[in-house]
């Protein structure tokens, strides 16, 4: 087949362009962040008390007698724990202001215990990459089901004679729900953090976040029923900063 001069020119240009076309450059990978180094000789501490104002919600009773391995009489639920105007089970953490970089997770596991057909503790803080150990101290079988949106979910059964279940969470995630498919009242919340600066309020409402480097931060307090509150704090070298929160019923 005889090509016209114009057709030949078009074909030649196309071939030259095709040969000279460079392969696309690979996408740049994000640089790994350097580990954060903390000088504990200069760190401070944030302490506070979580208060509750108003009439505390009525605590429902849980009837767990359908399973012979569970308590044989109704017991109060532990979702809202108010005592003498103080609120337990509030998760407090540094939300903004920490140095850029990675924090090394501890090798010591955080332990979740199934006892009395309850999860203990009810509110959990853990670092991404830190071991998470689940124990069954009941005579009942349990099924631990994670309702995760950012980490790989799991759903595993555990009888009283089974070995501990050990997991790790790769990514930060707030308020990950753990449930037992066999006992619908069993629920815990796991807060996976990228840093170690968090705490859970005790029965007297108190909390402490130690070893915080000097700086200006946003401190957050989160309750599963009453939402989140934040405040700005400034921590100086070796300073103990007081940060109290007050919640009311919605």
Q: Which residues contact 120 (CB under 8 A, 6 or more apart)?
A: 112, 113, 114
Q: Is 90:76 a contact under the CB 8 Å cutoff?
A: no
> Which residues in the chain show pLDDT less than 50?
1-30
Q: Is 127:195 a contact under the CB 8 Å cutoff?
A: yes
Q: In order of start, what are the domains of the chain with their CATH numbers?
A: 38-102+197-250 (2.60.40.1120), 104-194 (2.60.40.420)
pLDDT of residue 163: 96
Tell me the whole-structure pTM to 2 decimals.
0.84
pLDDT of residue 241: 97
Q: What is the pLDDT of residues 207-235, one digit of tens each?
A: 999 999 999 999 999 999 999 999 999 99
pLDDT of residue 56: 82
pLDDT of residue 7: 47
């Amino acid at each position: 087949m005889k090509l016209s001069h114009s057709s030949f020119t078009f074909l030649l240009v196309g071939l030259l362009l095709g040969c000279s076309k460079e392969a696309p450059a690979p996408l740049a990978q994000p640089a790994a962040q350097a580990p954060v180094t903390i000088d504990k000789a200069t760190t401070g501490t944030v302490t506070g008390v979580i208060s509750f104002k108003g009439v505390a919600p009525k605590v429902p009773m849980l009837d767990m007698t359908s399973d012979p391995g569970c308590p044989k009489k109704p017991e109060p639920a532990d979702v809202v724990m108010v005592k003498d105007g103080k609120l337990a089970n509030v998760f407090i953490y540094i939300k903004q202001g920490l140095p850029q970089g990675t924090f090394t997770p501890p090798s010591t596991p955080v332990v979740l215990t199934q006892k009395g057909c309850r999860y203990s503790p009810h509110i959990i803080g853990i670092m991404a990459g830190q071991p998470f150990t689940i124990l069954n101290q009941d005579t009942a079988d349990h099924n631990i089901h994670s309702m995760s949106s950012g980490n790989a979910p799991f759903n595993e059964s555990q009888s009283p004679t089974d070995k501990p279940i050990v997991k790790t969470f790769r990514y930060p995630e707030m308020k990950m729900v753990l449930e037992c498919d066999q006992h619908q009242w069993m629920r815990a919340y796991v807060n996976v953090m990228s840093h170690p600066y968090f705490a859970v309020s005790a029965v007297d409402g108190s909390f402490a976040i130690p070893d915080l480097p000097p700086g200006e931060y946003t401190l957050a307090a989160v309750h599963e029923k009453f939402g989140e509150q934040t405040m700005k704090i400034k921590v100086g070298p070796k300073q103990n900063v007081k940060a109290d929160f007050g919640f009311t019923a919605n």
